[in-house]
Amino acid sequence: MPRSAAHQFNEKSRYMRITRLVSFVFQAVTIGLAAAFVLVYLYPDLLHRQAPVVEIHEHATAPTASAGPPPAAAPGPVSYAQAVNLAAPAVVNIYTQKLVTERAHPFLDDPLLRRFFGDQGDKPRKRLETSLGSGVIVSPQGYILTNNHVIEGAEEIEVALHDGRTASAKVVGTDPETDLAVLSIALHKLPVITFGSADRLRVGDVVLAIGNPYGVGQTVTAGIVSATGRTRLGINTYENFIQTDAAINPGNSGGALITPNGELVGINTAIFSRTGGSQGIGFAIPVSLARDVLAQIIQHGHVVRGWLGVEIQNINDALAESFGVNSSDGVLIAGVLDDGPADRAGLKRGDIITAIQQHSVKDVHDALAAIAKAHPGSAIRIDGVRNGKPFHLKATISERPKQPENQRPDEGPEGGPNDQR
């Protein structure tokens, strides 16, 4: 083959290879663009995809220079002095005196000892006993709320005000079943505390206790609300305590439990202690209960409560099984007073009360509260079980008899788990 012909053939072959390569590249680009178009059409978010966000908590690292100012913390009082200034003038110190008669020592009954002491040992000895507590002035007319155990049996009651004035106090009325008492003093321009709402208290709220512990003088302690609605402590017949870790000691009884705004939310009443001093478990009567007792004592001289005339007790699993009921909720009637409200309504010994006024009764305290709440003369609905069968009846409530002041709620028959309602 001539050289020129061979050269032409090589040039033609090279041209064809280049043409095929360009055609292949063009086809590949076209297919790639088509595939990209399809992907973008089907998944448009691919064009806006962002880097993953890393969440950083507020206190994990220090804020960067570009970050805004940190959120402001909830403001808290630097001092409770304003609250104390509002409430403390209305908190008083109470000093009582009573004459106590002590019987002769039983050892003096021994004939041998009587030879030495003669008949002198038979004579009872009398001594003057003093005690102290606190109270709260609740009206310009001179009414003071305090605990019943602070003034119980006292023959003389002296009240010392925050401004230095003193006055003799008279007992307007007492309610041993809530351990509350109302006194009155005849002084003018009296400081009066502001009532708050115990129903709004939350566990963790700050409270202050003001009183006269150990007679050292008016003292303020701070703490929080540890619990609300404490019952079944065996302190009083009717219980609904605010529990607090604010230090409450002997002499604080009857004093004020206040909010950081200076409002009264409770009357300090008792402590749980193995040593006699504060161990961070104190109890106060909520102001809602105290106001009701105050109003009734001022109006009637005593507290009016409903009474059914039955002796009741809690139900345990063994009793529930023996009486053919599926639950230990409810109360068992252990006795019925002759011709009392329960007897006239048809209640019998051995009946189990499960509900009063269509509210479930869990135990003796629930039943007592429901009956006491009913106004004397009104009719209440009682649901229960008799011989394994349900019953419903109406009972007309009478007024609850007065409980002896020297009787604890667990000493029956007028208070406690086995008492007459």
Name all domains of the chain by residue range, CATH numbers in brackets.
81-184 (2.40.10.10), 194-300 (2.40.10.10), 306-399 (2.30.42.10)
H or E element in which residue 396 lies: strand 389-396
pLDDT per residue, tens digit, the chain (421 aa), is: 455 555 565 666 666 767 776 676 667 767 777 666 666 566 655 555 554 443 433 443 334 444 455 555 456 667 899 999 999 999 999 999 887 776 655 555 666 656 555 555 556 677 777 888 999 999 999 999 999 999 998 999 999 999 999 999 999 999 999 999 999 999 999 999 999 998 899 999 999 999 999 888 899 999 999 999 888 787 888 888 999 999 888 889 999 999 999 999 999 998 776 666 667 788 999 999 999 999 999 998 999 999 999 999 988 888 887 877 777 888 999 999 999 999 999 999 999 999 999 999 988 888 988 998 888 999 999 999 888 889 999 999 999 887 655 444 433 333 333 333 3
The catalytically annotated residue of 175, 253, 351, 365 is 253
Contact by Cβ (8 Å): 193, 294: no
The catalytically annotated residue of 175, 179, 351, 383 is 179
Closest CA to 179 of 269, 118, 100: 269
For residue 104, give the amino acid letter. A
* DSSP assignment string, 242-302: EEE-S---TT-TT-EEE-TTSEEEEEEEEE--SSSS--S-EEEEEHHHHHHHHHHHHHHSS
For 420, the 3-state DSSP assignment is: strand
Give the distance, in angstroms, between the CA of residue 262 and the centroid of all CA atoms in the same chain: 19
Q: What is the C-alpha end-to-end distance of the chain, expressed in Å?
A: 136
The predicted pLDDT at position 122 comes to 57
Give start and end residues of each alpha helix (H) in 57-202. Answer: 81-87, 111-117, 148-151
Whole-angstrom distance, CA of residue 385 vs CA of residue 383:
7
The catalytically annotated residue of 131, 134, 149, 419 is 149
Residue 149 is among the residues annotated as catalytic for this protein: yes
Number of helices (H) and strands (E), helices first, in the chain? 8, 22
For 222, the 3-state DSSP assignment is: strand
The predicted pLDDT at position 411 comes to 34
In the block, tokens 């663009």 appear at 33
Beta strands in 3-124 (DSSP E): 91-102
